[in-house]
C-alpha cells in the first residue's frame, strides 16, 4: 500500500467535492474507487441497506455513517428477491450529494433492453462503478409469484457493459454517442462448492470484463487463504482487484440461523462458539469482524475489504478505524450540511444503550 497523500491532494475536484473528477490515462472511469485501487491503496467499500421508503432523507441518513471511512457505497438491487428502493434511485440520490456509489444490477428483474438503458442513465448521473450479479431466484423473496427474467446472467451482463464501454455500441450493434465510463465489478464466493472451480469462475468473470470483485462474507480465513493462493497461482490477482467481504455478527443465534438458512455463507462452528462464550455477543461480533479484517488484509492479492453490516451500519466507522486498514488515509467526505448534527445525535441515541463512549469520540480517539 502506498503512503497516503496530503489532504490537499485527495481525490476531489477543486471546483467542488460534489463534482466529477478529471479522467486519468488507463482508467475506465472517473471514480474514486478505481483511483484508490490503482494506486495500490487498501480500499474499503460498504453496503447500504436500501429503505422501504420514498423519502430521500432515509438514504442520506444511511449514507452519512460511511463518510470519511469508505471509498464506495454499494446500492443494493433487491437482494434476496425482496423489493426496496431501487439501486438506480439510490444512486441518483447519492451522486447528487457527491457520494461514490457502486450500483448493483441483478439480472432477475430486467431484460437486456432495460439493463442497457439503466447503464446509460446511471453513467449520465455520475455512477462510476457497476457490480454485475445474476440475482437470487424469486422464490427466495416475499413475492414468489413474480415473473423472473434472467435474460442475461452475471457473465453476459459483464460482457454487455464492457461492449458498451469499450466498443461504444449496444448489443444490437447500434452505436452509442457517448459510451458509459464505468469500472466493472462482480461477486465471488470462495466458500461454496465446488471449491476447486471457484478460481476458474473468477477467471471467466475477468475475461468477461470484471475489473474488481467483492467476495461473500469471509468467516473462514484459512479457506479464503487457500482460495487466494490458487488465484495467485493462476495470475488472477494481477488482473483484478479482490475485496474480501466481511461483517459483524450480532449474536450466536444470528450466526446459527445464517448457517442453517442462507446458502453460500459458510460460518465455522468455532466462530459460533466464540460468540456463545462472550458476555456481550454483539460487541464480540464486532471484534470478530476486526480480527478477520486484520487477517485478510495480510493475504497477498487482497486489495481491500467490503463491509456488509446489515442493520449495524452505524458500526462501520468503528470497525474500519479499529482495524487500521486505512493507515491514516481518509476517504472522501461530503461538505458539511445543516442537518449533519441531527444525524450524528440520532446515531448517538441509537448506540448509547450498549456503549458508554460516544461513537464519534471513540472513532476520533482511534484516529488520533
Give me the DSSP letters along 201-270. Answer: HHHHHHHHT-SEEEEEE---HHHHHHHHHHHHHTTGGGTSEEEEEE-----HHHHHHHHHH-TT----HH
The 3-state DSSP class for residue 146 equals coil
Contact yes or no for 42/297 (Cβ under 8 A): yes
Q: Taking the CA of residue 84 as centre, how many other CA atoms within 13 Å lie in the half-sphere pointing to its CB?
A: 19
Return the domain boundaries, the chain. Answer: 18-338
Predicted pLDDT at 184 = 99
Predicted pLDDT at 347 = 62
Which ranges in the chain belong to alpha helices (H)?
Answer: 32-38, 56-64, 87-96, 112-125, 154-162, 198-208, 221-233, 252-261, 269-276, 281-296, 316-323, 340-351, 359-367
CATH class of residue range 18-338: alpha beta
Q: How many other CB atoms sit within 10 Å of the CB of residue 279? A: 6
220-250 confidence digits (pLDDT tens): 999 999 999 999 999 999 999 999 999 999 9
Predicted pLDDT at 53 = 94
Predicted pLDDT at 21 = 80
Contact yes or no for 306/45 (Cβ under 8 A): yes
Closest by Cα among 38, 3, 25 to 303: 38
Q: Taking the CA of residue 264 as centre, how many other CA atoms within 13 Å lie in the half-sphere pointing to its CB?
A: 10
Low-confidence ranges of the chain (pLDDT < 70): 1-10, 13-20, 335-344, 346-368
**Helices 56-64 + 87-96 axis angle, to 10:** 70
Predicted pLDDT at 9 = 46
Q: Who's near 43: CB < 8 A, 6+ residues apart?
A: 33, 36, 37, 71, 72, 241, 243, 303, 304, 305
User: Residues, the chain, total?
Assistant: 368
Predicted pLDDT at 4 = 36
Amino acid at each position: 500500500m502506498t503512503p497516503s497523500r496530503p489532504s490537499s491532494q485527495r481525490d476531489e475536484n477543486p471546483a467542488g467535492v460534489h463534482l466529477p473528477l478529471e479522467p486519468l490515462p488507463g482508467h475506465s472511469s472517473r471514480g474514486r474507487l478505481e483511483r484508490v485501487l490503482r494506486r495500490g491503496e487498501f480500499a474499503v467499500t460498504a453496503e447500504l441497506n436500501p429503505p422501504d421508503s420514498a423519502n430521500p432523507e432515509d438514504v442520506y441518513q444511511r449514507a452519512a455513517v460511511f463518510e470519511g471511512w469508505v471509498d464506495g457505497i454499494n446500492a443494493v438491487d433487491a437482494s434476496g428477491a425482496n423489493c426496496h428502493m431501487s439501486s438506480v434511485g439510490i444512486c441518483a440520490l447519492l451522486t447528487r450529494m457527491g457520494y461514490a456509489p457502486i450500483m448493483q444490477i441483478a439480472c432477475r428483474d430486467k431484460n437486456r433492453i432495460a439493463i442497457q438503458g439503466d447503464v446509460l442513465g446511471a453513467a449520465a448521473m455520475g455512477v462510476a462503478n457497476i457490480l454485475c450479479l445474476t440475482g437470487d431466484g424469486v422464490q427466495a423473496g416475499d413475492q414468489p409469484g413474480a415473473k423472473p427474467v434472467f435474460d442475461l446472467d452475471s457473465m453476459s451482463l459483464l460482457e454487455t457493459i464492457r461492449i458498451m464501454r469499450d466498443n461504444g455500441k449496444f448489443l444490437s450493434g447500434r452505436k452509442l454517442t457517448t459510451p458509459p465510463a464505468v469500472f466493472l465489478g462482480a461477486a465471488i464466493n470462495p466458500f461454496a462448492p465446488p471449491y476447486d472451480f471457484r478460481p476458474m469462475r473468477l477467471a471467466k468473470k475477468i475475461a468477461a470484463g470484471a475489473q474488481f470483485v467483492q467476495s461473500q462474507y469471509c468467516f473462514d480465513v484459512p479457506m479464503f487463504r487457500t482460495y487466494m493462493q490458487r488465484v495467485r497461482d493462476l495470475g488472477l490477482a494481477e488482473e483484478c482487484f479482490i475485496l474480501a467481504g466481511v461483517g459483524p455478527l450480532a449474536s450466536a443465534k444470528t450466526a446459527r440461523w445464517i448457517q442453517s438458512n442462507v446458502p453460500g455463507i459458510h460460518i465455522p462452528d468455532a466462530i459460533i462458539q466464540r460468540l456463545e462464550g462472550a458476555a456481550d455477543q454483539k460487541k464480540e461480533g464486532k471484534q470478530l469482524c476486526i480480527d478477520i479484517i486484520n487477517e485478510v488484509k495480510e493475504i497477498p492479492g487482497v486489495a481491500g475489504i467490503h463491509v456488509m453490516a446489515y442493520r449495524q451500519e452505524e458500526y462501520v466507522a468503528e470497525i474500519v478505524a479499529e482495524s487500521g486498514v486505512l493507515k491514516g488515509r481518509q476517504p472522501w467526505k461530503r461538505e458539511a450540511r445543516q442537518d449533519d448534527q441531527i444525524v450524528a445525535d440520532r446515531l448517538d441515541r441509537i448506540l448509547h444503550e450498549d456503549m458508554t463512549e460516544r461513537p464519534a469520540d471513540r472513532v476520533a480517539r482511534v484516529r488520533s
